[in-house]
Amino acid sequence: MSDIIQLLPDHVANQIAAGEVVQRPSSVVKELIENAIDANATLIKLIIKDAGKVLIQVIDNGKGMSVTDARLSFERHATSKIKSADDLFNLHTKGFRGEALASIAAIAHIDLKTKQHNDDIGTHIKIEGSNTLSQDVIVTPTGTSIAVKNLFFNIPARRNFLKSNAVELRHIIDEFHRVSLAHPTISFTLHHNANELFNLPISNYRQRIVSVFGAKINEKLVPVKETTEILKLKGFIGKPEFAKKTRGEQFFFVNNRYIKSHYLNHAVSSAFEGLLKQGTHASYFLYLEVNPETIDINIHPTKTEIKFDDEHTLYAILRAAIKHSLGQFSIAPVLDFEHNSTLDTPYNYKNKQGVSNKLKIDVDSNFNPFKEEKQSLDPSFSKAATYKETPKASWESLYIESKSNTPEVKANDIRVETDEITASFFEADALATTKNTFQLHHKYVVNTIKSGLLIIDQQRAHQRILYEEFLQNITVKQGVSQQLLFPLQLEFTPNEIQILKSLSPQLAQTGFAFSKFSAETVECLGIPAILKETDVANVLEQLMSDIENEVPDTHFSQTDLLAKSLSKSLAIKTGQYLTKDEQEYILNRLFACKEPNISPTNKTTFITLLVTDIDKKFD
């Protein structure tokens, strides 16, 4: 029988390799940018058309290639980065396999222009599906420009497999984030269909994170730093209170290369244990430096997974360093027992008959867990419970005091307040009599009543109070707005802008005033009186995320969701110290609510401990 084994022709081998290296346009982006970095570029421009399906071009000012190298670079296993197998264990470059360009050239149209510093003229090569069409001299700046056009032109099945432009562009942007965050000393730009999406100047790590994710991330970052013999760690973690529902901003870089590691991610999560609300994820940007000999990055073709020699030690160091930072920057644990404070148990407001236009803050006569004892209640308590008018409370007093342990008062916090909110609830005669309230574990407001003890969950109670207030604002009586001295420029995704636009009539009722909607920005001129200017962006972001998670179908559920989201964001939290006045405020206002016994998410707001029950314990 004749021999049947034959060597695959190079172009076929390259196409097969391409299947591994190039899954989608973003893979090409990654390979080309990594090559530019390896060429010591300080400026890298990425130009994309139609999410990379039409064009992916990377222009760098790196060292360029000689005529021979330019030609050789498209050969398989052609690399300038390793010479022997030993070099594999001491890699300081991104590439080393020498197959990226060969693979890409096998499945696309390539236009390469390159020139080295000392040369006057450069080289221009055109390749289509591994076939070199032309090679000329060209006048071109020092560095390299590689344009990759019509990706997968000769593999229709792969081309058809590509996702929508939005999805493919998302992948490209993710790749761009990873590589640009790893290299703040290189300037990057990204253009998509003539729009400039990013323009990142040379900077440091922190500034780079800020240029990529926007100025508002700056205040959320807490530095992390640790140097040990086997690991140098630096970077930032996001403060727990800004943790997100999506896993978006989580980055590990090992020797300036983005990597994925479930194991190390676990180390970070465990350091955050007890600090995060369930279902949220902390952000992190962690840069690890280890001896290249102690890692193996060769185990995955696209090189995002690596193997460490001493994973357990790295885990322990990482966890300890993050805990230390969280502690040092006094991020006190916020023990949130209201784990499902998301909006998944919607308050059934719409089943309430005509409640939206009846919503006055006065005592619901149906309410009362101690109805039979109404007459015997502590006089001050019953007085509070029949408190009818709602003078606009000085919300400031509820906040300033309790936040005094965080140095939050900033010069740009100045705002213009309208007269309406100056009358303080606490000056009202409700205060004339002192009440026996105290705060337990920064969690509960406890009040003595005749029959025993009333224990109020401060966070849930305040949510209830705010919820009814916002509902009333939206449906009956416009809330008080504070005009901002300097309008805030807010940035959102185009989708969020649409949501914001559609909600803006209701938001206006709560005190928000928006103008100048553009594709991704909006100007905020006024905010609800209760809100602090510095919290505006977070509150609106939370609102967007709530709405995206629970797509409200009717106008009514939209209003309900809005009130719920705002009350959730703005309510005082468990763990917050409350002054006597604030404790009483919670007590009084809670029992002036329509439904004081449950939070907007149907959680119990208070319980009573009867003397008779206490007596039993002494039996």
- Binding stretches for Mg ion (CB under 5 A): 35, 95, 100
Residue 124 or 443: the one with the smaller Cβ distance to ligand ADP is 124
Residue 45 or 603: the one with the smaller Cβ distance to ligand ADP is 45
Choose the one of ligand ADP, Mg ion, none that binds residue 507, judging by a C-beta under 5 to 8 angstroms depending on kind.
none
Which residue do the tokens 């244990």 mark?
273
30, 45, 97, 158: which one binds ligand ADP (CB under 6 A): 97
Q: What is the DSSP string of 545-597?
A: HHHHHH---SHHHHHHHHHHHHHHHHS--TT----HHHHHHHHHHHTTSSSTT
Cα end-to-end span (Å), the chain: 99
Residue 58 or 490: the one with the smaller Cβ distance to ligand ADP is 58
Instruction: Tell me if 78 sits within 8 A of 98, measured CB to CB.
Output: yes
Residue 76 or 532: the one with the smaller Cβ distance to ligand ADP is 76
Q: Residue 517: which of 530, 538, 499 has the closest Cα?
A: 499
Residue 123 or 463: the one with the smaller Cβ distance to ligand ADP is 123
Residue 65 or 254: the one with the smaller Cβ distance to ligand ADP is 65
99-118 positions binding ligand ADP, by CB under 6 A: 99-102
144, 255, 472, 601: which one binds ligand ADP (CB under 6 A): 144
Total residues binding ligand ADP (CB under 6 A): 24
For residue 134, what are its two tokens? 């032309």
For residue 46, what are its two tokens? 């990425």
Which range binds ligand ADP by CB under 6 A, 97-105, 200-208, 414-422, 512-520? 97-105
Separation of alpha carbons 91 and 76, rounded Å? 20
In three-state form (DSSP H/G/I as H, E/B as E, the rest C), the secondary structure along 365-402 is: CCCCCCHHHHHHCCHHHHHHHCCCCCCCCCHHHHHHCC
Residue 144 or 451: the one with the smaller Cβ distance to Mg ion is 144
Choose the one of ligand ADP, Mg ion, none that binds residue 275, judging by a C-beta under 5 to 8 angstroms depending on kind.
none
DSSP letter for 457, please.
E
Handedness of CA 427, 429, 434, 438 (dihedral sign): negative
The answer for residues whose C-beta is within 8 angstroms of residue 100's C-beta and 6 or more apart is 21, 31, 32, 34, 35
Which range binds ligand ADP by CB under 6 A, 56-64, 226-234, 290-298, 504-512? 56-64
Q: Is 267 in the site for ligand ADP (CB under 6 A)?
A: no
Which range binds ligand ADP by CB under 6 A, 91-99, 363-371, 390-398, 490-498? 91-99
DSSP letter for 8, please.
P
43, 49, 66, 98: which one binds ligand ADP (CB under 6 A): 98
Separation of alpha carbons 578 and 582, rounded Å? 6
Residue 69 or 310: the one with the smaller Cβ distance to ligand ADP is 69
Task: Please name the amino acid found at residue 299.
Answer: I
Long-range contacts of 308-311 (CB under 8 A, 24+ apart): 310/230, 311/263
Choose the one of ligand ADP, Mg ion, none that binds residue 301, judging by a C-beta under 5 to 8 angstroms depending on kind.
none
Q: What is the DSSP string of 302-327?
A: T----EETTHHHHHHHHHHHHHHHHH
Separation of alpha carbons 10 and 7, rounded Å? 9
Choose the one of Mg ion, ligand ADP, none that binds residue 60, judging by a C-beta under 5 to 8 angstroms depending on kind.
ligand ADP
Choose the one of ligand ADP, Mg ion, none that binds residue 599, judging by a C-beta under 5 to 8 angstroms depending on kind.
none
Q: Residue 520: which of 55, 190, 196 has the closest Cα?
A: 196
**Strands 284-289 and 250-254, bridge-based pairing:** parallel
Q: Is 123 in the site for ligand ADP (CB under 6 A)?
A: no
Residue 73 or 447: the one with the smaller Cβ distance to ligand ADP is 73
Residue ranges of E strands in 255-354: 257-259, 284-289, 295-296, 307-308
Choose the one of ligand ADP, Mg ion, none that binds residue 587, judging by a C-beta under 5 to 8 angstroms depending on kind.
none
* Min separation Cβ 148 and ligand ADP, Å: 12
- 174 alpha-carbon distance from chain centroid: 14
Separation of alpha carbons 122 and 141, rounded Å? 8
Residue 36 or 282: the one with the smaller Cβ distance to ligand ADP is 36
26, 35, 576, 583: which one binds ligand ADP (CB under 6 A): 35
Which range binds ligand ADP by CB under 6 A, 72-80, 176-184, 276-284, 373-381? 72-80
For residue 515, count other CB atoms closer than 10 A to its CB.
11
18, 48, 65, 453: which one binds ligand ADP (CB under 6 A): 65
Residue 68 or 348: the one with the smaller Cβ distance to ligand ADP is 68
Separation of alpha carbons 251 and 217, rounded Å? 15
For residue 121, what are its two tokens? 């003229």
Residue 101 or 421: the one with the smaller Cβ distance to ligand ADP is 101
80, 368, 390, 608: which one binds ligand ADP (CB under 6 A): 80
Instruction: Tell me if 122 sits within 8 A of 53, measured CB to CB.
Output: no
Q: Residue 21: which of 30, 12, 11, 10 has the closest Cα?
A: 30
Residue 255 or 605: the one with the smaller Cβ distance to Mg ion is 255
17, 18, 60, 177: which one binds ligand ADP (CB under 6 A): 60
* Min separation Cβ 40 and ligand ADP, Å: 9
14, 26, 61, 73: which one binds ligand ADP (CB under 6 A): 73
Which range binds ligand ADP by CB under 6 A, 90-98, 149-157, 348-356, 428-436? 90-98
31, 111, 175, 560: which one binds ligand ADP (CB under 6 A): 31
Which range binds ligand ADP by CB under 6 A, 77-85, 173-181, 284-292, 507-515? 77-85
Residue nearest to ligand ADP (CB): 95
Handedness of CA 591, 593, 599, 604 (dihedral sign): positive
For residue 464, what are its two tokens? 């209830």
78, 361, 598, 610: which one binds ligand ADP (CB under 6 A): 78
* Min separation Cβ 244 and ligand ADP, Å: 34
Element (H, E) at 610: strand 606-610
Positions touching ligand ADP (CB under 6 A) are: 31, 35-36, 39, 60, 62-65, 69, 73, 78-81, 95-102, 144
